[in-house]
Amino acid sequence: LAAAPRRRSSAPHAAAAAAMIVGRVLGRRAFGSARESAGAKFRKLMMEAHNTKRPLQIVGATSAYTGRMAQNIGFQAVYVSGGGVALANLGVPDLGVTGLDDVLVDVRRLTRVTTVPALVDIDTGFGASIFNIERTVRDMEQAGAGAIHMEDQVSAKRCGHRPNKQVVPTGEMVSRLQAAIRGRHEMVIMARTDSLAIEGLDSAIDRCKAYVNDGGADCIFAEAVTDLAQFKKFSEALPGVPLLANLTEFGQTPLWKLDELADVGISLVLYPLSAFRAQSRAAEAVFKGIMADGTNKEVEKLMHHRMTTYEVIDYMAYERAMDEAAAKAK
């Protein structure tokens, strides 16, 4: 007797259906898609901010979850901080300990679940060779980043708001930037200078002119600015070049308001670790409360409700996708 035909399992079909539906939930950009690239998005936002004198606010996201939250609230760009990767995900100081792959992991996680472009900190380029820099930029763009910033510190870099920084000669930084330009397709290349605190304002401005005119940088990040008049000098010396102000808390730069920065020619305003520092303080309070009280009941008031967390990641859409896939498999 002929054997009865075996019934095919519906599991692969269910899995495929679920993957397709969840892909729609995430809204991920497929490779080869005709949609606008992250680099083109960031450039458009940057130039609109520059031309209208309404600075673009960029907030740091140390996880894909906080990136989604920032996007949901209405921010048009997010930031992957090198210090954030070191602190939040490696638990080490931001002293050149992180590598390219450490940052790429965070960038890929973020860009898979957000549609706003990300500015990414690549320190000094992650390697001693110009070929390392080209690779870094290519990898970042392929991971979905819209812009990168690279600094003119020596490879053994330090936090931009701490003492004893050292910078490379202008020509070496120009070579770094030229390598970055060769590695990019549409990504925005931002040059960061840490020279203001070391060499003074005039030298920092001269460096930035070379970074734009010879290196090909699209925009400038002047680190550790202490006075609005300094930003005014940068903007006057670099007409047509978007400038970024880094408003990191507890550093050398005062926490100016958006209109004050617009008045001195700032086009981009960065809040690199604001959310992380608030999360860190909240986590400390929760841990201490649990230790002291022997329960988490008293610190529950400090927490987002479960349903609020679900709203951030659109959890219910995933559940509906699973239910729809299961129904189709029957």
| Catalytic residue ranges | 79, 94, 121, 123, 149, 151, 159, 192, 223, 246
Residue 92 CA from chain centroid, whole number? 19
For residue 242 the two structure tokens come to 């978007």
Alpha-carbon distance of 269 to 294, in angstroms, equals: 42
Residue 90 is which amino acid?
L
Question: For residues 226 and 19, what is the distance between their CA atoms, to the nearest angstrom?
Answer: 50
CA pair distance 267, 263, nearest whole angstrom: 10
Strand 243-246 and strand 188-193: pairing? unpaired
Contacts of 133 (CB under 8 A, 6+ apart): 125, 126, 127, 150, 176, 179, 180, 183
Q: What is the CA radius of gyration of the chain?
A: 23
- Sign of the dihedral defined by the CA atoms of residues 305, 306, 309, 310, in that order: negative
For Cα atoms 102, 108, 113, give the angle at the middle one, nearest 5 degrees: 140
Amino acid letter, residue 168: V
